[in-house]
Chains A and B, each alone.
Chain A
Amino acid sequence: GQQLNQSPQSMFIQEGEDVSMNCTSSSIFNTWLWYKQDPGEGPVLLIALYKAGELTSNGRLTAQFGITRKDSFLNISASIPSDVGIYFCAGQLTGAQKLVFGQGTRLTINP
């Protein structure tokens, strides 16, 4: 089946540092979504991207839809303790409603 390669799998950073994670695929997607999941909770939508090359920000978060439509990245600037959690990318193939998920990036922040 379709797969998304998300990296890194985990990150250990100091508070205040910037964070970058990305997802790549061999397939072309028409939508990229980034979610954050806290322990014991469902994923919460952070940013949605719908056009190749689109760059969208949500506060300290910035995400881009790759030009090739096969990749996307998420950046977090000036990390704070509440940024801790697992971040998932998800892609939607053209004509499909199902999402394909990345493996997740676990973010840990040292105060």
Chain B
Amino acid sequence: GAVVSQHPSRVICKSGTSVKIECRSLDFQATTMFWYRQFPKQSLMLMATSNEGSKATYEQGVEKDKFLINHASLTLSTLTVTSAHPEDSSFYICSAWTSGDNTDTQYFGPGTRLTVL
């Protein structure tokens, strides 16, 4: 299957700082990537859809000025958590969308554990 990487895998930061998370599709091009967050023992919650070369589409209730998304190339999307606070601590996961002949699939990255002190 297709491979998606995330960096860093784990980050600890002080409250008020900004954190950037990278998501890369390693062996395919992805015009669309997705960013999720996941709280303990819960399912994945979609935050935004990242489209290469255009603005991201945010889900209802997700602050676009706090969670900045940039999809600069067909293999890279970044999520920047600005002015992070302890309540932003979570597991952030990206996915990349691939499509064939009626065979759309999403492959997920390994996730980034963010802890805000």
Is there an interface contact between B32 and A88, defined as CB atoms closer than 8 Å? no
**Can you name the residue of chain B whose Cβ is closest to the Cβ of A92?**
B104
Is there an interface contact between B44 and A101, defined as CB atoms closer than 8 Å? yes
Is there an interface contact between B43 and A88, defined as CB atoms closer than 8 Å? yes
**Can you name the residue of chain B whose Cβ is closest to the Cβ of A99?**
B106
- Which one of B65-73, B75-83, B109-117 contacts A? B109-117
Q: List the count of A-B residue pairs having beta carbons below 8 Å apart.
A: 52
Is there an interface contact between B108 and A97, defined as CB atoms closer than 8 Å? no
CA of A111 to CA of B73, assembled, Å: 47
Pick the residue among A30, A40, A45, A88 that contacts B111 (CB under 8 A): A40
Which of B103, B106, B110 is the most central at the interface, judged by chain A CB atoms within 10 Å of its CB? B106
The residues in A between 15 and 51 inclusive whose CB is less than 8 angstroms from any CB of B are: 30-31, 33, 35, 40-45, 48, 50
Residues on the A chain within 8 Å of B107, using CB: 45
Which of A40, A90, A97 is the most central at the interface, judged by chain B CB atoms within 10 Å of its CB? A97
Is there an interface contact between B110 and A41, defined as CB atoms closer than 8 Å? yes
Is there an interface contact between B105 and A98, defined as CB atoms closer than 8 Å? no
User: Residue A7 at the B interface, CB < 8 A?
Assistant: no
> In angstroms, how far is the closest chain A Cβ from the Cβ of B40?
10
Residues on the B chain within 8 Å of A66, using CB: none
Pick the residue among B49, B97, B105, B109 that contacts A42 (CB under 8 A): B109
Known A40-B113, A101-B44, A104-B43; contact A45-B105, beta-carbon cutoff 8 A: yes
Pick the residue among A40, A42, A103 that contacts B108 (CB under 8 A): A42
CA of A85 to CA of B6, assembled, Å: 21
Is there an interface contact between B93 and A102, defined as CB atoms closer than 8 Å? no
Is there an interface contact between B108 and A35, defined as CB atoms closer than 8 Å? yes
CA of A41 to CA of B113, assembled, Å: 9
Is there an interface contact between B93 and A48, defined as CB atoms closer than 8 Å? no
Pick the residue among B34, B95, B111 that contacts A41 (CB under 8 A): B111
> In angstroms, how far is the closest chain A Cβ from the Cβ of B85?
22
Residues of A within 8 A of B (CB): 30-31, 33, 35, 40-45, 48, 50, 88, 90, 92, 97-99, 101-104
20 A-B contact pairs sorted by A residue (CB < 8 Å): A30-B102, A31-B104, A33-B105, A40-B91, A40-B111, A41-B110, A42-B93, A43-B44, A44-B108, A45-B1, A45-B108, A48-B105, A50-B102, A88-B43, A97-B34, A98-B46, A98-B49, A99-B34, A99-B46, A104-B43
